[in-house]
Amino acid sequence: MNKLMSRQELAPILASKREANQKIVFTNGCFDILHAGHVALLEGARELGDFLVVGLNSDASVRRLKGAARPIHPENARARVLAGLGCVDAVVIFEDDTPIETIAALKPDIHVKGGDYAPDDLPEAQTVRENGGEIVIVPLVEGFSTTLALEKSAIRNPQSAIVMVPARFGSTRFPGKPLVELGGQSVISRVVRAALQTAASKPVFVATDDARIQAEIEGKFSRDEAMAVMTSPACHTGTDRLAEAISARFRQVEERLIVVNVQGDEPFIEPAHIDALIAVMREDERLQMATLATPIREKSLESDPNVVKVVVSERGRALYFSRAPIPFDRDGQGAQKLRHLGIYAYDARWLLKMASLPPSKLEEIEKLEQLRALEHGVEIGVCVVENVVPIAIDTPNDLARAEVFLLG
């Protein structure tokens, strides 16, 4: 029997099952990369009744839910794999983002979901119950998920890149700044949406120590788009927070993995600039760290100690970072000065090592963490970009400037 059917084709089969007092079980999902956790869910679902129907999200539905890079496999291929399992009796593809209409048509006796859901959080819960059905939650198999499988694949590819966004709620100058609204979106949501437009692998990871930021990410994005990684409030720097998040998420990093650090208070970061930074890291697999810079156009910024300058070699490597106006133009030849932008890309292995090292002498003098890398002999690639919007949300005044910028 062909197990892939339409709802209309399934109707008489389900009617005969009901006449025979057989229980109809339903579950649904994208099933993009079938793994042991999926199989355990499906086998557990089948044991609850006599006939298991699997609702499968269409390709269009998966793209809406998971992003433009998904599904990995087209719907017919996913359906064929599911149909090959002995515990599955029928597969039906549905176009909607939820299985509400499919459940209303099929009226299963039992609706099964995995342990990462709560019955009352399911959008289809009311429909199941109105049709006399029961919701059963099956425990997950630890260590298996499609997202985890994609992450492992990324780690094993030396050219793979991910974006991590450190976001701290307890800022001294502007508490709660990641969650303040800017143009109808929170600041952190704007940063994540920019990162989603890059060539980096998904999801975007937000490293935070606050449940409110975690709730914002989980409420605004699917798990395949963005994921919050909880870190300790004791992290002193963004680098420490990233290192802790990497250790928590990936356990051990033995292969080269490019990690792009985008600050959570940079709502106007350009996706193209992130891609340019990734390209610098991909051009040289030996490069352990890279960053961005932009030409300084305003003379007053050259002597501003809050504007960090960088001097770059002919090879595009940082020679030094300073709050002082470098290079010093002794003869007044109009030497171009570069403003450093605090966005970095790391080989994850170096990032973990850097976080374990004590602050270096020059780092403590200038209060610039990147000098730790230079003092340990690590080259930092520098990518010079244009069209930068230099507004980071550090204070309420910055937020006001950002709102004016959005208004044009």
Cis previous bond, 327, omega within 30: yes
What's the confidence (pLDDT) of residue 251?
Answer: 65
pLDDT at residue 145, rounded to an integer: 63
Cα gap 224→150, rounded to integer Å: 10
Q: What percent of the chain has a predicted confidence (pLDDT) above 90?
A: 72
Nearest-angstrom CA–CA distance, 262 and 274: 8
Mean pLDDT of 74-95: 94
Report pLDDT for 158.
Answer: 55
Residue range 384-401, pLDDT digits in tens: 999 999 899 989 999 999
Q: What is the mean pLDDT of residues 50-57?
A: 96
Greater model confidence, 216 or 140: 216
Q: How confident is the model at residue 64 (pLDDT cuts 50, 70, 90)?
A: confident
pLDDT digits (tens, 9 = 90+) for 7-48: 999 999 999 999 999 999 999 999 988 888 889 999 999 999
Q: Which residues contact 108 (CB under 8 A, 6 or more apart)?
A: 24, 25, 26, 53, 128, 131, 133
Whether the predicted pLDDT of 157 surpasses 70: no
Confidence of residue 212 (pLDDT cuts 50, 70, 90): very high
**Looking at the predicted structure, is the pLDDT value of residue 1 above 90?**
no
Q: What does pTM read for this prediction?
A: 0.66
Q: Contacts by 175-182 with C-beta closer than 8 Å and gap 24+?
A: 176/212, 177/265, 177/393, 177/394, 177/399, 178/208, 178/213, 178/216, 178/264, 178/265, 179/212, 179/213, 179/216, 180/393, 180/399, 182/267, 182/393, 182/399, 182/402, 182/403, 182/406
pLDDT of residue 388: 93
pLDDT tier for residue 69 given thresholds of 50, 70 and 90: low
Q: Please compute the mean of the pLDDT values over residues 189-204 and round it to a whole number.
A: 92
d(CA 356, CA 236): 12
Whether the predicted pLDDT of 152 surpasses 80: no
Say what the pLDDT of residue 4 is.
94
- Average pLDDT over every residue of 244-272: 87
**Whole-number CA gyration radius for the chain:** 26
Q: Which residues neighbour 256 within 8 Å (Cβ) at sequence distance 6 or greater?
A: 158, 285, 347, 348, 349
**Per mean pLDDT, which range of 133-142, 320-329, 375-384 is the poorest?**
133-142
Give the model's pLDDT for residue 36: 85
> 112-122, pLDDT tens digit by residue?
998 777 888 89
On whether the CB atoms of residues 79 and 55 are closer than 8 A, the answer is: no
pLDDT, one tens digit per residue, over 339-380 is 999 999 999 999 999 999 999 999 999 999 999 999 999 999
Residue for token digits 């996913």?
Answer: 78
> CB-based contacts of 354: which residues, under 8 Å, 6+ apart?
239, 243, 346, 372, 373, 376, 378
Give the residue-averaged pLDDT of 163-174: 88
* Residue bearing the bigger pLDDT, 66 or 182: 182
Confidence of residue 3 (pLDDT cuts 50, 70, 90): very high
| Residue 149 CA, distance from chain mean position | 14
In the predicted structure, residue 149 carries a pLDDT above the cut 70: no
**Mean pLDDT, residues 146-161:** 61
Mean pLDDT of the chain: 90
Taken in order of first residue, the domains within the chain and their CATH numbers are: 7-143 (3.40.50.620), 147-406 (3.90.550.10)
Placement of tokens 């609204």 in the chain: 181
- The answer to whether 162 touches 274, Cβ cutoff 8 Å, is no
